[in-house]
Structure 1
């Protein structure tokens, strides 16, 4: 063997030794370290969960197999997401083998699809969107979701009309001839606008100008005087409204009680509420407004035991919901079926029948 070949062989043997060492002891140490970190993290989560269990009221639940519960909410910056996180926490610590997690989504319309396709078990949905889905109308025309079922209603989302003080708009009838923003085309807000105008005998042709704008865009145009009023469907207080009210003189336009009753008769998902929105600058009078409701929905395939347990756990742990978001404080058992726009899941109905006795 030549000296050159001998040196080449030595180098190959040395390289092989390095490779074998890397594939044995060193790799296992790294893997063990990762595994220990994972176990430590899981242990911390378990300990935290055990501490939380004592704060969750979970007596009198129905026996269930438990299982995974994906809770479809909305954007992470919205109201649905933190409330969904609170509901997941309640379910996870109820001691009945639920594994729940809040899923950020595009909200109501997307959530209907997730529920009916089996990609989520529980969903936050506006009750008007649920109505359209269950009946195959408006947004869901030709795409009926007949398996959608309601668990309960949560809190009102008011149809608010912000009008400039300089516009002369004091009633909905005063919108005639005015420049009005009606939401994005085909949005839930625009559907609300059309329904309210219809009850008042008003069409888009009666308005001076119709702008399809988000509320942020509409707020800018109210400030610049390009429009007179804008519709928004949201909980009170709405951050978009409060921000506009701090920089511009605006007010809320009410809906007369008789017109509200007429609207509810035709579209039963609305409710008529009287509010004094003191969170908005200059709003110190009680107003008659209409609202749709946020609600929880599931598919008809959900076991009765699970639907029963979910609503029972929700309404017996409202403090947890309230701590997660201000709107959680608006959830109340005596209003759980107000504005329910679709068939109630029989498991949920069993709970409501029990508490009435």
Structure 2
């Protein structure tokens, strides 16, 4: 009996020792469990919201082409373009963090960075540039029956100036003031965008409209197909503008750009700039900049406004907007910057 009890106790003790040994090696069993999933943030793509302009404008198509290219060539990002109210709205969205990348004329970008004009009290001092793009010319379209042959003669006429506070409205204000017209008091201002203005020009219900867009612009083509013409902006007015606003350049719209346009048109233009938030990672902006320029020929085939762009021109005429470190790294890498 005693021997049996001893055997039972020995067996129990052996079992306890074996369990203890296995417990001591329990780390091996835990390691064999299914691995924990990586945090979602580690695999999520960086979202790029890219506002552009109205769906009928050239900028909308440009933004769509750029974001489609990024989605195909930069695995770490998910980019989406969207319609917007245009440059000023785009800058506000980037400033407020609602968007990460967008496009506007360099003058508006300068005003946003410095908190002037439409951005008074709402400066975004950390705004950064990715690239200067194409020149965006001012195009003054009038009906033949209006009798308008120069900017000074818009005084007292029905003229479409877009919505108050918009980029186009600001262009009207600076140009008409330089032409000696009190704006908007001394014209019969129509606050409509150029899509609607083109229809009104065709119908003859307004005398003229201000259109700022890359050439050829569909709204201008529509108007010039129906008893309308473009008006020159004189060198004197352009010179006055350049003395006060360094972002203006002289621009020529070649003859034949539009239907029934037999002569070249003298006008002013401002460079479009692609900009971004300052807190986008350097490597992300580097990749966005690099792939944009490496596919510029392809982009130019789909969007005429991007055709023929060169990286060497991307850092010029951008109203002193500082480059994002990621973009700067790329331009140094290819020798555009030292």
TM-score where L is the length of structure 2: 0.75
Residue 148 of structure 2 corresponds to 169
Whose Rg is larger?
A: 2
Q: 1:317 aligns with which of 291, 295, 298?
A: 295
SS at match of 1:194: helix
Moved more, 188-197 or 168-177: 168-177
- Measured in 2, the distance between the counterparts of 1:181 and 1:314 equals 35
- Measured in 2, the distance between the counterparts of 1:219 and 1:79 equals 15
**For the structure 1 residues 307 and 175, does the alpha-carbon distance in structure 2 shift closer, same or farther, using more than 3 Å as the test?**
same
8 Å Cα contact 1:151-1:345 kept in structure 2: yes
SS at match of 2:301: helix
Quick check: 1:212 aligned with 2:191? yes
- Measured in 2, the distance between the counterparts of 1:160 and 1:345 equals 32
Give 1:129 deviation, angstroms. Answer: 2.5
**For the structure 1 residues 287 and 66, does the alpha-carbon distance in structure 2 shift closer, same or farther, using more than 3 Å as the test?**
farther
Q: Alpha carbon RMSD of aligned pairs, Å?
A: 2.7
Residue 257 of structure 1 corresponds to 235
SS at match of 1:312: helix
Residue 58 of structure 2 corresponds to 79
Q: 2:163 aligns with which of 147, 170, 184?
A: 184
Q: Which runs of 5+ in 2 are unaligned?
A: 1-42
Residue 108 of structure 1 corresponds to 87
- Measured in 2, the distance between the counterparts of 1:277 and 1:337 equals 29
**For the structure 1 residues 177 and 90, does the alpha-carbon distance in structure 2 shift closer, same or farther, using more than 3 Å as the test?**
closer
Residue 152 of structure 1 corresponds to 131
Q: 2:105 aligns with which of 106, 123, 126?
A: 126
- Measured in 2, the distance between the counterparts of 1:226 and 1:336 equals 41
Give 1:156 deviation, angstroms. Answer: 2.4
- Measured in 1, the distance between the counterparts of 2:145 and 2:60 equals 37
Give 1:122 deviation, angstroms. Answer: 2.0
TM-score where L is the length of structure 1: 0.72
**For the structure 1 residues 76 and 221, does the alpha-carbon distance in structure 2 shift closer, same or farther, using more than 3 Å as the test?**
closer
Count residues with an aligned counterpart.
291
**For the structure 1 residues 324 and 333, does the alpha-carbon distance in structure 2 shift closer, same or farther, using more than 3 Å as the test?**
same
**Structure 1 runs (4+) greater than 6 angstroms displaced:** none
8 Å Cα contact 2:51-2:99 kept in structure 1: no
Q: Which runs of 5+ in 1 are unaligned?
A: 1-64
- Measured in 2, the distance between the counterparts of 1:152 and 1:205 equals 34
Give 1:191 deviation, angstroms. Answer: 0.8
Residue 355 of structure 1 corresponds to 335
Quick check: 1:293 aligned with 2:281? no
- Measured in 2, the distance between the counterparts of 1:206 and 1:119 equals 35
